[in-house]
Amino acid sequence: MVTQTEFISVRLRELIMTGEFAAGDRMQEKALADRLDTSRTPVRLALTELAKEGLLEYKPNKGFVVRGFSPEHILNAIDVREVLEGMAARMAATIGLSEQSQKKLRASLLQIDGLLAKEEFEYADAKMYAEINGDFHSTIVEAAQNEVLVEMVEKFDAIPLAGSKSFALVTTKDLAAIHQLMERNQQQHHWVYNAIVDQDPARAETIFRQHIHEARDVLGRVMKDLRQSKINTSDFPLLRLVG
């Protein structure tokens, strides 16, 4: 172990991002310290970090509260992500891919092709898809060779459902629908990969933006269902942060 504070910070982030707490819940220092078997000092430092990340709100003399993310906020975030990742794809295509990036992207493509080709597509596969999807997107962003861009895009991971790791995880339990969505997405992954390898910046940007835009639309529909109480948040605890 390195320091208590770092550990607590990770632990609390996990607890929040898995929906252990709902939007608006107070994060009381003493209670958390007891629960995580430490003292208030590292808890307070960790809470300060999480607040800066945007996961919590802080009011002087009142403490920290779990932040709620409105559907509009999440969709706004994805609009911004579309622009930034579009830029990344364009830059990556302009610069050209390093051998290593190319390998990583091809590996992600192959893994997802494999998942989608499986006889029995399971919920665990959908989760795996989301993870590999995140890798694919991150690799493209890194290929743009702009550290600031990388940092900015990473901030979306602190907004529930806004990052590229969250894809499709909460849409439905209808595996066939999820599978179909992923087919379409994977097609776009291949296209953007080809555009980047061909060093066609305009096409790479257009495809990647469209790719993210479609995901945004899907999520928009999901959140509409959520508003109409068609989704049970005990099935998808993360949604407790939306409201």
- The least distance separating a copy of itself from the CB of residue 154, rounded to whole angstroms, comes to 12
User: Nearest distance from residue 155's CB to a copy of itself, in Å?
Assistant: 7
Q: Which of 22, 25, 28, 169 binds DNA (CB under 7 A)?
A: 28
Piece of 59-67, 70-78, 125-133, 153-161 that binds DNA (CB under 7 A): 59-67
Q: What is the 3-state secondary structure (H, E, C) of 53-114?
A: HCCEEEECCCEEEECCECHHHHHHHHHHHHHHHHHHHHHHHHHCCCHHHHHHHHHHHHHHHH
> Using the rule CB under 7 A, is 4 a contact of DNA?
yes
DSSP-assigned letter for residue 242: B
How many residues sit in the footprint of DNA (CB under 7 A)?
21
222 with 166: CB under 8 angstroms? no
In whole angstroms, give the CA distance from residue 227 to residue 240. Answer: 12
Q: Of 190, 182, 188, whose CA–CA distance to 126 is shortest?
A: 182
Of 116 and 149, nearer to a copy of itself (C-beta) is: 149
- Residue 26 near DNA by CB under 7 A: yes
Question: In the complex with DNA, which residue's Cβ is closer, 32 or 115?
Answer: 32
Query: Residue from 10, 24, 34, 41 that binds DNA (CB under 7 A)?
Result: 41
